[in-house]
Amino acid sequence: MDCLICHDTTGTYSKKKNSCGMPNKDLDLTDIAKQVGLPGRGNCGECHWYGGGGDNAKHGDLGSDLLTPDASLDVHMGKLDFTCQKCHVTDAHKIAGSSTTSSVSEGRVSCTDCHDENPHDSSFPLLRKLNEHGMAMACQTCHIPQYAVNKFTLTYRDGSRISDKTEVVSQSPDKRELKTPMGQKILEKNLKPSYAWYNGKHHRYMKGDPVDPKGITPLNAPDGTIKDPSAKITPYKIIKTRQAIDARHGYLIVPHLAGKDGLISTHDWQVTAEKGMKAAGLKFSGEIAFADTMMYWRLNHGVVPKEKALSCLDCHGPEGVMDFKVLGYKGDPMATGWRFAPDK
């Protein structure tokens, strides 16, 4: 990456598409270079807010509303005005923080880098109970109860239904369905997380791995189960996608995607599959089918003010946010007990 993307403070530094990364010609680079400074949220956001085809589309917890957020959206970046690197501590340009999807990592970031493991005042019985819950759940689980509050995020894409143009199919305040050259898409707003056990690692679907042609194949499921003492219940955004598979070999097709002869321009699965599979070194039978896959995105941003954190009844009440059975409990653990006996 070039330096000015992260160090420009004027907000004017820019590039054109298909310019091989060169800056726009009409910029006064000398003037911009005279005003460099440490990165603000907008510098990091220039890339991280717009992945997946739009503002907030990919992660759901990283959108341009973090430029000047209300405290109610994010206490750290709103009320406390944290930069990204306040948490993503950077040393000689190694930016700490592990992603859910890429295998590169330049160090981990965790809530307990700054907060105590037992942050709630143990002299009060109810607050002590919150600390005890920390054995089984991540801080984010209670402190990030919502995502995509202001901005739509992508939750479904169907690659079998590709259109020439982008067109709105249906629209309501919290849901939009679109036809696009990248497939039929659903975008949603005001979402509640899904919960899963996570022990710090995710599995990976690798090129050529089998897919379940009738069910849903997870591409990066979190590792960990209720029986794993190092796993904690963690909040996720889940995106489902319908993708092309080789009907005979039973694995995902790698299409030739970009450029004039790529799938995005031609919308021709057959030709672009042949080309892409050859480059990927995978056998291609010529028979294309479609299968459902899902991808997990961990939620780490959007810590709400403490009054809005999930409390006892949000989970143990009749409208509880967690499906305890799906997580592996016999029922509500308030009645059935901790996953491990307290003396273990």
Q: x/- site string to ligand HEC, residues 4 to 33, per CB under 6 A?
A: -xxx--------------------------
Q: For 229-265, what is the HEC assignment?
A: CCCEEEEEEEEEEEEEEECCCCEECCCCCCCCCCHHH
Comparing CB distances to ligand HEC, the nearer of 41 and 179 is: 41
How far apart CA 193 and CA 322 sit, in angstroms, is 9
Query: Which one of 115-123, 153-161, 209-217, 273-281 is the stretch in contact with ligand HEC (CB under 6 A)?
Result: 115-123
The CA–CA distances, whole Å, from 57 to 74, 88, 307 equal 18, 22, 28
Residue 119 in contact with ligand HEC, rule: CB under 6 A = yes
Interaction with ligand HEC in 144-203: which residues (CB under 6 A)?
none
CB of 138 to ligand HEC, least distance (A): 7
In the chain the first and final C-alpha atoms are separated, in Å, by 49
46 binds ligand HEC (CB under 6 A): yes
Cβ contact 65:150 at 8 Å: yes
Burial of 205 (0-12, 13-18, 19+ CB in 10 A): middle
Residue placing its CB nearer to ligand HEC in the complex, 111 or 280: 111
Residue from the set 55, 56, 65, 133 that interacts with ligand HEC by CB under 6 A: 133
Q: Is 135 in the site for ligand HEC (CB under 6 A)?
A: yes
CB atoms inside a 10 Å sphere around CB 310: 21
Which residues within the stretch 302-331 sit at the binding site for ligand HEC (CB under 6 A)?
303, 305-306, 309-312, 314-316, 322
Measured CA to CA, the distance from residue 192 to residue 231 in angstroms comes to: 21
Rg (CA), the chain: 23
By CB under 6 A, what part of segment 257-286 binds ligand HEC? Answer: none
Write down the least CB distance from residue 288 to ligand HEC, Å: 28
User: Any contact of residue 84 with ligand HEC (CB under 6 A)?
Assistant: yes
Is 334 a binding residue for ligand HEC by CB under 6 A? The answer is yes
Applying the rule CB under 6 A, the residues between 196 and 235 that interact with ligand HEC are: 233
Which member of 112, 230, 270, 285 binds ligand HEC (CB under 6 A)? 112
Which segment (18-26, 74-82, 217-225, 270-278) binds ligand HEC by CB under 6 A?
Answer: 74-82
Query: In 10 A of CB 315, how many CB atoms?
Result: 21
